[in-house]
């Protein structure tokens, strides 16, 4: 082949290659993640003698600073989006309007105040218990909804980790394929596009930084562990922890990973921190209500007067170990329990003071102390396997904890002389003669025997007809600062307001983050995307190149034919 033909053919080859490349760009103008490519032609010559044109390299347009910012933005907005969804679900669970927990708290205390003006009214008594049941029922449903949300989020975390592992495996595989091509001096632009798409999808799930190495290989360094090193992906795992949350672990890393960004980071924060915090505040609200009202219910008198028996509703794990080690929701402290014993025949009343020390006394010890301190007139035992306290008066006797003074029959209705008959808080802690069962938001409820017989509601402290002193103590709980200096209603309002603020803040962050990402993507697209008008102009250039090369070859062939004709 002579030099002229080689030059013409090289022009045809490069022109055709350029047209193919332009066609590839046009075909992928709308393909997500596609990076525009351009042919770089180089002049071919040997010893300053031109031999035409050749393809030097194929440029794949890229914008590394913008790409880094986009990956970071993806991780941030991914985390914010997940947290916003979770907070909105919490907000929905808490509800609004008349059916909220706060409204039920007000309804309960309103009904107690109404009953205090007519303490023997059966209908008013039932209204108090129905209000209490509505309050506990709303707590139960709210807690159940939040618990279900956390359970669902845990499943999503497992699914997301599986997606992370699939994407890191894909990136590692593409690293190997890209290396195999580019180590030979060739280009793997289409494979780079595939890897960039996988990396972008991964950035929405977890946060990491990219480290570019030789021959097109990229390493991904995550929070606390490398996600991809060359052709080796790190397989993440999900494991439960001692606090009921979930940890993400990696082989060879001794401690759980602290994943902050991406959807996985947002899920972990909600599952391990934010949802438990909200749930714990609801539990504290329920427990504080039960602890305070149960104390007054236990140390008051019902319409039926003193008791002949009572069984606690709150159990311990081990009745042989000190109460301080039993993790009781309503703590028992060192103090005195004053028991009043009434002879049902003579109506004479005596009292006994029982010293309680939870640091040294087990439930068995408390039972023994009550029995011994009352001379056996009040038998205290432990029901197993429930591990609850049972109190039974000796035949012909009844008992109460109202703190009334010892008396002959003429002084039966004397005013109480013991201001706090249970300074140890043992009655509320063990649920003896209580208003509520359970303590946490999920378990709290109104005692079934009270719902069945409203006479058991303790309105009085003296037993005198019309006495509502105990109801007044209960009603006063409305205004007590029981939780972090806040009343029960104020605490619920603070819980709901905090969630609402989170929703608004995260919504604003999401809006801002989405706007920034749109701007970054638009800027990147302007640099690496396909402009059809620009490509059509280039296509015409290559068309003219091919047409010119064809014309050149035709003329050269005619000239050669003429030369051959002359030399014949």
Q: What is the pLDDT of residue 408?
A: 66
Do residues 509 and 539 both lie within one domain? no
CA–chain centroid gap for 293, Å, is 32
Q: Does a structural domain hold residue 335?
A: yes
Q: What is the pLDDT of residue 236?
A: 96
Q: Does a structural domain hold residue 442?
A: no
Do residues 16 and 130 both lie within one domain? no
Q: What is the pLDDT of residue 32?
A: 86
Residue 228 CB burial class (10 angstroms; 0-12, 13-18, ≥19): buried
- Residue 116: which domain range? 65-294+464-528
Q: What is the pLDDT of residue 414?
A: 59
Give dist(CA 422, CA 337) in Å, integer. Answer: 4
- In 478-567, which residue ranges form alpha helices assigned H by DSSP? 488-528, 532-567
Give me the residues paired with residue 227 across strands: none
Query: What are the E-state strand segments in 129-217?
Result: 208-212
Do residues 243 and 360 both lie within one domain? no
Do residues 84 and 125 both lie within one domain? yes
Q: With contact defined as beta carbons under 8 Å apart, do 155 and 287 qualify? A: no
Give dist(CA 370, CA 393) in Å, integer. Answer: 11
Do residues 161 and 148 both lie within one domain? yes
Would you call 537 helix, strand, or coil by DSSP?
helix
Q: Does a structural domain hold residue 458?
A: no
Residues of the chain with pLDDT under 70: 1-2, 46-49, 408-415, 561, 563-564, 568
Do residues 357 and 497 both lie within one domain? no
Q: With contact defined as beta carbons under 8 Å apart, do 86 and 274 qualify? A: yes
Q: Which residue has the tokens 């490349």?
A: 21
Would you call 267 helix, strand, or coil by DSSP?
helix
Q: Does a structural domain hold residue 444?
A: no
Q: At residue 37, what are phi and psi to the nearest 5 degrees?
A: -120, 150
Give dist(CA 332, CA 360) in Å, integer. Answer: 12
Do residues 132 and 262 both lie within one domain? yes
Tokens of 372: 């011994």
Q: What is the pLDDT of residue 562?
A: 73
Give dist(CA 122, CA 531) in Å, integer. Answer: 82
Q: Does a structural domain hold residue 261?
A: yes
User: Pick from 336, 329, 293, 324: which is nearest to 423 by CA?
Assistant: 336
Do residues 20 and 96 both lie within one domain? no
For 156-177, b where at least 16 C-beta lie within 10 A, e where not — what string? bbeebbebbbebbbbbbbbbee
Last residue of a domain, one of 381, 411, 432: 432
Do residues 57 and 99 both lie within one domain? no
Q: Does a structural domain hold residue 163?
A: yes
Q: With contact defined as beta carbons under 8 Å apart, do 513 and 76 qualify? A: yes
Is the torsion defined by CA of 87, 89, 91, 94 positive or negative? negative
List, as one string, the DSSP characters of 432-464. Answer: TT-SEE--STTT-EE-HHHHH-GGGS--BSS--
Number of domains composing the chain: 3
Q: What is the pLDDT of residue 409?
A: 56
Q: Does a structural domain hold residue 440?
A: no
Last residue of a domain, one of 409, 432, 455: 432
Give dist(CA 225, CA 250) in Å, integer. Answer: 7
Q: At residue 376, what are phi and psi to the nearest 5 degrees?
A: 80, -5
Do residues 228 and 316 both lie within one domain? no
Do residues 406 and 474 both lie within one domain? no
Tokens of 537: 């102009």
Last residue of a domain, one of 413, 432, 451: 432
User: Pick from 455, 460, 491, 133: which is nearest to 284 by CA?
Assistant: 491
What pTM, to 2 d.p., does this model score?
Answer: 0.87
Q: Does a structural domain hold residue 301?
A: no
Q: With contact defined as beta carbons under 8 Å apart, do 93 and 149 qualify? A: yes
Do residues 351 and 428 both lie within one domain? yes
Q: What share of the chain is helix, strand, coil (3-state, %, to 5)?
A: 55, 15, 30
Q: What is the pLDDT of residue 413?
A: 54
């Amino acid at each position: 082949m002579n030099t002229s033909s080689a030059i013409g053919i090289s022009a045809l080859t490069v022109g055709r290659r350029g047209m193919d490349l332009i066609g590839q760009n046009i075909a992928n103008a709308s393909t997500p993640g596609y990076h525009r490519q351009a042919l770089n032609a180089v002049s071919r010559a040997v010893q300053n003698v031109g031999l035409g044109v050749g393809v030097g390299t194929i440029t794949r347009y890229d914008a590394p600073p913008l790409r880094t910012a986009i990956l970071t933005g993806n991780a941030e907005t991914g985390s914010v989006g997940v947290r916003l969804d979770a907070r909105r679900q919490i907000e929905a669970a808490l509800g609004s309007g008349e059916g909220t927990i706060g409204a039920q708290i007000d309804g309960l205390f309103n009904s107690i105040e109404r009953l205090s003006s007519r303490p023997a009214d059966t209908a008013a008594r039932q209204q108090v218990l129905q209000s209490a049941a509505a309050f506990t029922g709303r707590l139960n449903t709210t807690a159940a909804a939040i618990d279900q949300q956390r359970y669902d989020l845990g499943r999503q975390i497992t699914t997301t980790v599986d997606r992370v592992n699939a994407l890191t495996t894909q990136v590692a595989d593409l690293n190997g394929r890209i290396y195999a091509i580019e180590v030979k001096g060739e280009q793997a632009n289409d494979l780079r596009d595939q890897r960039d798409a996988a990396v972008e999808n991964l950035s929405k799930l977890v946060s990491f930084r990219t480290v570019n190495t030789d021959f097109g290989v990229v390493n991904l360094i995550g929070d606390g562990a490398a996600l991809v090193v060359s052709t080796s992906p790190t397989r993440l795992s999900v494991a439960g922890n001692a606090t009921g949350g979930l940890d993400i672990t990696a082989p060879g890393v001794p401690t759980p990973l602290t994943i902050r960004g991406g959807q996985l980071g947002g899920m972990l924060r909600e599952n391990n921190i934010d949802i438990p915090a909200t749930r714990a505040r609801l539990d504290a609200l329920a427990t504080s209500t039960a602890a305070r009202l149960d104390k007054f219910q236990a140390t008051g008198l019902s319409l039926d007067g003193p008791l002949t028996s009572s069984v606690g509703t709150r159990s311990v794990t081990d009745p042989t170990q000190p109460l301080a080690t039993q993790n009781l929701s309503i703590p028992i402290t060192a103090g005195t329990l004053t028991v009043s014993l009434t002879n049902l025949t003579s109506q004479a009343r005596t009292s006994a003071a029982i010293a309680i020390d939870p640091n040294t006394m087990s439930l068995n010890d408390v039972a023994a102390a009550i029995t011994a301190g009352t001379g056996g007139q009040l038998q205290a035992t432990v029901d197993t396997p429930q591990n609850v306290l049972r109190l039974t008066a000796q035949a012909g006797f009844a008992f109460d904890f109202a703190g009334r003074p010892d008396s002959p029959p003429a002084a039966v209705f004397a005013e109480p002389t013991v201001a706090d008959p249970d300074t140890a808080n043992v009655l509320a802690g063990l649920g003896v003669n209580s208003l509520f069962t359970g303590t946490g938001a999920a378990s709290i409820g109104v005692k079934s025997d009270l719902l069945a017989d409203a006479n058991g509601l303790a309105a009085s402290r003296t037993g005198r007809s019309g006495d509502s002193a105990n109801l007044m103590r209960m009603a006063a709980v409305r205004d007590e600062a029981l939780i972090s200096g806040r009343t029960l209603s104020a605490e619920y309002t603070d819980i709901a307001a905090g969630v609402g603020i989170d929703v608004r803040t995260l919504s604003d962050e999401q809006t801002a983050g989405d706007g920034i990402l749109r701007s970054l993507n638009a800027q990147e697209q302007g640099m690496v995307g396909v402009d059809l008008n620009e490509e059509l102009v280039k296509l015409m250039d290559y068309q003219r190149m091919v047409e010119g090369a064809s014309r050149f070859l035709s003329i050269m062939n005619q000239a050669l034919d003429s030369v051959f004709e002359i030399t014949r």
